[in-house]
Amino acid sequence: MNAQRAGWLVLGLLAAALALAALGVCVGSTGFENLVGPLLSPAQDPDATAMARQIVFDIRLPRTLGAWGAGALLGLAGAVAQGLFRNPLADPFLLGSASGASLGVALALAALGGAGGMLGASMMNSGVAVSVFSSSVWVRLGLTGAAFGGAVLAVLLTLVLSRGVQHTLRLLLAGVVVGVVLGAMTHLVLLFSPESLQAMQAFMLGSTSFVGWTAAGLMAGVWALCTLAAWLLARVLDGLSLGDATARSLGLPLGPMRAALVAVLALATGTAVAQTGLIAFVGLAAPHLVRSLVKTTSSRLMLLASCMGGALLMAADTLARWLIAPQELPVGVLTAVLGGGYLLWLMHRSTRLGRGGGL
């Protein structure tokens, strides 16, 4: 029965993603505008059709699909983190990847100077995003590489401090320490490079403004790889949910499998953060929403949490573009507000049901 419900949930989430994609290509800086009509009737107004095609296929469609990819990666990483640490409050940024990515971007912006400031201005003003991005594509690629490299190096530093992945509590504490130290280093870099503050603010708030076809394709490829790896490693998560002793009694090589799960977590999180900045609560809320709808094994949870995360971020991105048009609300702010409200509601419900505040 649960398998059937899980199958229906996957189909429902994919249908929701298709509907959100169709809606996303019709929402821009001027609010809602129907661009599907000109595309379907090119003979009536060739100029309008050409403009609509450029807007849809060069800007909005890759951005909308990229939002799904980033959300799917964060949802998958959240499910892995919660299973690995056996903690429903674990999120993809626990191993210091967010702080590492932030430090990498801060250092890159400080080195770029004026170019970084120009890119930051465009990120805060979507009306000039296309023209500025076209002249700063190498700057954008540099920032993406710096964010990904910083995230990976932060996870590696966490592994060094925790002396491997054998003890999840030590790994968790090392991730917290690395996150705090790298966060302080980021603020120190920005203190000596105030011209980078605007661009850094855009990164910290999260944005899908510059996700193009290359970034969307990259996230899709990484998502497919990470989903396959997580599915193959799902058995160890099921074993860990029963305790380390039980997992060992099942003959599971916990050390190598934990290391592989950490690699999946780091790759998925680093890729998403490098393309969209810091987007909070998607990776934390997506597995919770899935578990509230269906009871399932870890192997199915990975796919379901990915689809849920993708749908959540697509919806949030479309809403962020529409709410205060022609200005654009940073999608990370919207997900933080909605995700925080959802978790507060969960805490209130669990307290009312007498579960001591547990989620």
Three-state SS string over 241-268 comes to CCCHHHHHHCCCCHHHHHHHHHHHHHHH
357 lies in some domain: no
Q: How far apart are CA 34 and CA 57, in angstroms?
A: 14
Q: How far apart are CA 255 and CA 162, in angstroms?
A: 13
23 lies in some domain: yes
Cβ neighbours around 217 below 10 Å, total? 14
CA-atom Rg of the chain in angstroms: 21
The closest of 323, 100, 135 to 92, measured between CA atoms, is: 100
What pLDDT does 118 receive? 46
CA distances in angstroms from 262 to 154, 164, 171, 223, 227, listed in the order given: 12, 10, 10, 15, 13
Ranges of beta strands (E only) in the chain are: 27-28, 31-32
226 lies in some domain: yes
What pLDDT does 337 receive? 87
CA distances in angstroms from 301 to 10, 288, 305, listed in the order given: 10, 10, 6
The number of residues in the chain equals: 359
Tokens of 343: 């978790």
Please give the model's pTM, rounded to 2 decimal places.
Answer: 0.86
Which residue's entry shows tokens 């099921």? 238
DSSP letter for 196, please: G
Counting DSSP H helices and E strands in the chain, the numbers are 17, 2
359 lies in some domain: no
Domain that holds residue 71: 2-352
The CATH code of the domain that includes 215 is 1.10.3470.10
Contacts of 248 (CB under 8 A, 6+ apart): 254
57 lies in some domain: yes
Residue 343 identity: L
Interhelix angle 97-112/254-276, rounded to 10 degrees, is: 40
What pLDDT does 39 receive? 62
175 lies in some domain: yes
Specify whether the CB–CB gap between 144 and 275 falls below 8 A: yes
Predicted confidence pLDDT, tens digits, the chain (359 residues) = 577 888 888 899 999 999 998 888 888 766 677 666 666 565 566 666 777 777 788 888 899 999 999 999 999 999 998 888 888 888 888 888 889 988 998 888 888 764 554 454 444 444 333 333 333 566 667 777 888 888 889 988 988 888 876 677 888 888 899 999 999 999 999 888 888 787 788 788 888 887 888 889 989 999 999 999 999 988 888 887 777 677 677 677 777 888 888 889 888 998 898 888 889 889 998 998 998 888 888 888 999 999 999 999 999 999 998 888 778 888 988 998 888 887 788 777 767 766 554 45
Specify whether the CB–CB gap between 93 and 173 falls below 8 A: no
Q: How many structural domains is the chain composed of?
A: 1
281 lies in some domain: yes
What pLDDT does 130 receive? 37
358 lies in some domain: no
Residue 260 identity: A
